[in-house]
Copies of this chain bind each other. A is one copy, B any other.
C-alpha cells in the first residue's frame, strides 16, 4: 500500500521509551530540529530527562501511565530493545511507533534474531537452541566447539554469556546453566574473527536508506571500547556488510536508525553478530565527524523527513569512557581534536558507560 507520508511538524512532541544516554542524545538532536521530547522510563533523573521537556517516571508495565504518555505525544520511538513487547504494543495502538513493534520482536531474542537474519539472506555463526543440559553436548558437537552459551533475551555488553569449551563436562554445562539463571539459551559457535565491524543505517518512512561509513570495533570485557572510521577492511567486506545491512533494514520495514554488528573472518566473509534496532554506541563518532549524525538521522526518519547526508568530513576514533575512565574526562577535554561527551550520570559504577570521547583527524581519503 502506497500511503501518503505526512511529516510530523516542528513543535510536535516525540516520546522516547527509555531514559539513558541514547535517549539523551536523541532528545538533543530532536531539539535542534525544533521538536519537544517526552521521556518515559522507570528511573527518575536519568541522562535523557535532564535535557528533555517532559518526563514520565513509571514502570514499562504501567498501562495507565503508558496510555497517558502515548496520548500526549505525536510519535514515539525507543532507545533500547529490551522494553517489553507489550509496552511497545500499547504505545503503537495509540500513536505512531517508529521503528515499529516488528523491529523489537525480531531483535529481542537471539534465536528469533538469528533465524530472521538467515531468512533475510545473511550469514551468522552456527547456532542451536538449547533447552536443557543434554542439548548442549550434542549441539557443541554439531556446530563446532568452542561455543558461547548466551541467554536468548536481555543480554547486552557481554552480560548473559559464557564460553563452553569442547572438553566441557556435563557438570560444567550444568553450572553454566545455573550461572545464566536457567533461562532460555542459545549456543553459538565461537567465531575466530579477524576483526569486528558495524554498520549504522537510517531508513526513512518511504523506505529510502542512507548508510554511515563502516566502523571497526574493539570490545573489552564484552563492552564496546573503541570504534574507528575508516574501518580499513577490504572493499569486498564493506560491500557485503552494506548489502546485508540494507537487506535487514528492509526486511524489518524499519523506520529510523539501525545498527548491525559483524564478525569479519579470515576468508573475508561477514557474519552478522547482532542487530540493534536503534541508534548505536558504534555510531557516536557521527556527532563529531558527519554532516548528519545518527541521532539527527533517527529523528528525521521517524518524523517523516527525507534523510540527511551521512557524509563524513573527518576520520574518527570513538572511545567509550567506562566506569572510572570518566575520571580522565577533564584531561581528555584539554586535548587537541578531541571532543568529550558526558551523559550526566551522577553515579560511576564499574562497566557503566559514563561518556565517550571522539578524536577526529583529517580525512584519510
A residues in contact (CB < 8 Å) with B: 7, 9-11, 24, 27-28, 31-36, 49-53, 288, 291-292, 300, 305-306, 308-309, 313-314, 326, 329-330, 333-334, 336-337, 339-344, 346, 355, 360
Given the known inter-chain contacts A36-B50, A334-B306, please indicate yes or no for A344 contacting B291, CB distance below 8 A.
Answer: no
A337 contacts B291, CB within 8 Å? yes
A31 contacts B10, CB within 8 Å? no
Other-chain contact of A305, B300, B314, B333 (Cβ < 8 Å)? B333
Seed contacts A34-B343, A291-B337; 7 additional CB < 8 Å A-B pairs:
A28-B32, A32-B342, A33-B341, A34-B341, A35-B344, A291-B339, A305-B333
A360 contacts B291, CB within 8 Å? yes
What residue in chain B is nearest A307 (Cβ atoms)?
Answer: B334
Distance of A185 from chain B, by nearest CB (Å): 38
What residue in chain B is nearest A311 (Cβ atoms)?
Answer: B337
Q: List 26 A-B contacts (CB under 8 A).
A: A7-B330, A9-B330, A10-B326, A11-B346, A27-B51, A28-B28, A31-B50, A31-B344, A32-B342, A33-B341, A34-B340, A34-B342, A34-B343, A35-B344, A36-B50, A50-B53, A291-B337, A291-B360, A292-B339, A305-B330, A305-B333, A306-B333, A306-B334, A309-B336, A309-B337, A313-B314
Given the known inter-chain contacts A7-B330, A305-B333, please indicate yes or no for A24 contacting B34, CB distance below 8 A.
Answer: no
Chain B residues with CB below 8 A from A336, complex form? 309
Chain B residues with CB below 8 A from A49, complex form? 53
What residue in chain B is nearest A346 (Cβ atoms)?
Answer: B11
Chain B residues with CB below 8 A from A50, complex form? 31, 36, 53
What residue in chain B is nearest A340 (Cβ atoms)?
Answer: B33
Distance of A289 from chain B, by nearest CB (Å): 9
Q: Which 9 A-B pairs have the closest CB atoms?
A: A34-B342, A50-B53, A306-B334, A31-B51, A10-B342, A32-B341, A28-B28, A51-B51, A313-B313
B337 contacts A11, CB within 8 Å? no
Distance of A217 from chain B, by nearest CB (Å): 22
Chain B residues with CB below 8 A from A33, complex form? 333, 340-342
Distance of A295 from chain B, by nearest CB (Å): 11
A235 to B33, CA, bound (A): 36
Distance of A146 from chain B, by nearest CB (Å): 41
Chain B residues with CB below 8 A from A291, complex form? 288, 337, 339, 360
A33 to B334, CA, bound (A): 12
B329 contacts A10, CB within 8 Å? yes
Given the known inter-chain contacts A11-B346, A337-B309, A346-B11, please indicate yes or no for A31 contacting B34, CB distance below 8 A.
Answer: no
A251 to B24, CA, bound (A): 39
B28 contacts A51, CB within 8 Å? yes
A314 to B290, CA, bound (A): 12
